[in-house]
Structure 1
Amino acid sequence: MPSFHQPSSRNPNLAQTFAALALLWIALLLPNRASEINAANFACLPLEALLLASLLQLPDIWGWLVRLAAAGILGLGIIFKLVDLGIDQAFGRPFNPVLDSRFPADGMQWLTGSLGTPGAWLAVALIASLLIWLILLVGIALGQLQAILSSPRIPAKQALTAMFLFWLGLQLSGNPIAGTPFIDWAAAHWHSARDSFADLEGFQRSVEHDPYAQTPDQALLSKLRGKDVLLVFVESYGRTVFDKPDYAAHILPLLKKSGAELQDSGIGVRSAFLTSPTYGGISWLAHGTLLSGLWIDSQSRYDRLVMSQRPTLNRLFQRAGWRTIAVQPAHTLPWPQGQYFGYDKIYAAQDLAYRGNAFNWITMPDQYTLSAIQRLERPAGPRPPVMAEIALISSHAPWTPLPRWVDWQQVGDGSIFSQARDGDAPAAVWQSTERIRQQYRKSIAYVLQTLVSYAKTYGDDKLVILVLGDHQPASFVTDNSASHDVPVHLIARDPEVIRAIDSWHWTPGLIPSAQAPVWGMDVLRGKWVETFSGEPGR
Structure 2
Amino acid sequence: MQRRSSTGVLVSARRLARWGRCVAGFVLLNLSLTFASIWPTLGVRPSGELSVELALCVVALIVVRRHWDGPSRTALRWLAGGWLLLVVGRYVEVTVTSLYGRDVNVYWDLQHIPAVGSMFAAVADTWLVASATVALLAGVIMSYLITRWALGVVADATKVRGAQWVLGSVAGAVLVLSVAQPLGMSVPGAARVASPVAAVYARELGELIYEMSGAGVRDLGAPPVLSSDLSRVRGADVFVFFLESYGAVSWDRPELATPLAASRAEFEADVRETGRGVASAFVESTTFGGESWLAHISLLTGTEVRDPATSVRLMAQERDTMVKLFGRQGYRTVA
Task: State the TM bucket, normalised to the shorter chain.
Answer: 0.5 to 0.7
**Compared with structure 1, are the counterparts of its residues 87 and 232 closer, same or farther at alpha carbon in structure 2 (3 Å cutoff)?**
same
Partner of 2:332, secondary structure, is: strand
**Aligned match of 1:71:** 80
Q: Deviations over 1:351-396 (max 9, x none)?
A: xxxxxxxxxxxxxxxxxxxxxxxxxxxxxxxxxxxx33213xxxxx
Aligned to 1:230: 238
User: 1: CA distance between counterparts of 2:131 and 2:222?
Assistant: 47
Residue 88 of structure 1 corresponds to which residue in structure 2? 97
The residue aligned with 2:25 is 20
- The equivalent residue for 1:212 is 225
Deviations 1:103-125 (A, max 9, x none): 53354245335523552343233
Give the deviation of 1:228 after TM superposition.
3.7
What's the CA shift string for 1:383-440, capped at 9, x where partnerless? xxxx33213xxxxxxxxxxxxxxxxxxxxxxxxxxxxxxxxxxxxxxxxxxxxxxxxx
Is it true that 1:145 corresponds to 2:154 in the alignment? yes
* 1:43-98 CA distance string (max 9 Å, x none): 98963243243256375794323322321222222222122222122122333323
Distance 2:18 2:167 in 1: 22
Residues 59 and 168, structure 2, Cα contact 8 Å, conserved in 1: no
Q: Counterparts of 1:460-499 in structure 2 under 5 Å?
A: none
- Find the residue that maps to 2:238 and give its secondary structure: strand
Deviations 1:307-337 (A, max 9, x none): xxx5443554567xx21xxxxxxxxxxxxxx
1:125-169 Cα shifts (integer Å, max 9, x gaps): 32232123212211111122123223x5x5344555656776677
Matches within 5 A, 1:315-334: 316-317=325-326, 322-323=329-330
AA of the residue aligned to 1:99 = W
The corresponding residue for 1:120 is: 129
Q: How large is the RMSD of aligned CA atoms in angstroms? A: 5.0
Q: Does 1:239 align with 2:223?
A: no
Q: Distance in 2 between matches of 1:314 and 1:84?
A: 32
Cα deviation, 1:243-263, whole Å, max 9, x if unaligned, reads xxxxxxxxxxxxx9xx97x95
* Superposition deviation, residue 289 in structure 1: 5.4
Name the SS of the counterpart of 2:102 in structure 1.
coil
**Residue of 102, 108, 111 corresponding to 1:99:** 108
Structure 1 window deviating more from structure 2 (167-176 vs 24-33): it is 167-176
Matches within 5 A, 1:298-337: 299-303=312-316, 305-306=317-318, 310-314=319-323, 316-317=325-326, 322-323=329-330
> In the aligned structure 1, how far is the partner of 2:301 from the partner of 2:177?
51
Q: Is the 8 A contact 1:55 1:66 kept in 2?
A: no
1:155 matched residue in structure 2: 162
Task: Tell me, yes or no, if structure 1 residue 54 matches structure 2 residue 62.
Answer: yes
Deviations 1:21-40 (A, max 9, x none): 2111213444579799644x
* 1:195-226 residue CA offsets vs partner (Å, 9 max, x unmatched): 4543673443366724426x6xxxx3455262
Richer in helix (by share)? 2
What TM-score results when the alignment is normalised by the length of structure 2? 0.60
Shift of 1:229: 4.8
Q: How does 1:161-310 map to 2 (within 5 A)?
A: 181=194, 184-195=196-207, 197-198=209-210, 201-205=214-218, 209-212=222-225, 220-221=228-229, 223-224=231-232, 226-231=234-239, 239=244, 263=271, 267=276, 290-294=299-303, 295=305, 297=310, 299-303=312-316, 305-306=317-318, 310=319
Q: Any gaps of 5 or more consecutive residues in structure 1?
A: 1-8, 243-255, 324-386, 392-538
Measure, in 1, the Cα distance between the counterparts of 2:234 and 2:176.
74
Alpha-carbon distance in 2 for matches of 1:172, 1:302: 37
Deviation per residue, 1:226-274 (Å, 9 max, x gap):
23453557xxx7739x9xxxxxxxxxxxxx9xx97x9586555669886
From the two aligned structures, give the one with the greater strand fraction.
Answer: 1
Alignment partner of 1:389 is 2:333? yes
Q: Distance in 1 between matches of 2:199 and 2:121?
A: 35
Corresponding residue of 1:415 = none
SS in 2 for 1:136: helix
Q: Secondary structure at the match of 2:333?
A: strand
- With over 3 angstroms needed to count, the CA separation of the structure-2 counterparts of 1:212 and 1:275, relative to structure 1, is same
Q: Is the 8 A contact 2:29 2:150 kept in 1?
A: yes
Contact kept, 8 Å, 1:29 with 1:181, in 2: the verdict is: yes
Alignment of 1:423-462 (within 5 A): none
Identical amino acids, percent of aligned pairs: 17
Return the letter of the residue paired with 2:97.
D
Secondary structure of 1:73's match?
Answer: helix
Residues matched between the structures, number: 283
Whether contact under 8 Å (1:291, 1:313) holds in the other structure is yes
TM-score normalised over the length of structure 1:
0.41
Q: 1:66 to 1:239 in 2, by over 3 A?
A: farther
Q: Confirm or deny: 8 A CA contact 1:231 1:389 kept in the other structure.
A: no
Closer, same or farther in 2 for the Cα pair 1:134/1:103, shift >3 Å?
farther
Per the alignment, residue 11 of structure 2 pairs with: none
Cα distance in 1 for residues equivalent to 2:209 and 2:276? 47
Q: Structure 2 vs 1, CA of residues 63 and 54 (structure 1 numbering), >3 Å: closer, same or farther?
A: farther
CA distance in 2, matches of 1:51, 1:83: 27
Q: Unpaired runs of 5+ in structure 2?
A: 1-13, 248-262
Paired residue secondary structure (1:190):
helix
Question: Separation in 1 of the partners of 2:53 and 2:202?
Answer: 23
Q: Structure 2 residue aligned with 1:135, among 144, 156, 165?
A: 144
Q: CA deviation at 1:275?
A: 5.7
| Aligned-partner Cα distance in 1 for 2:327–2:234 | 13
161 and 84 in structure 1: CA distance in 2 versus 1, 3 angstrom threshold = closer
**Contact kept in structure 2, 1:50 and 1:160, CA below 8 Å:** yes
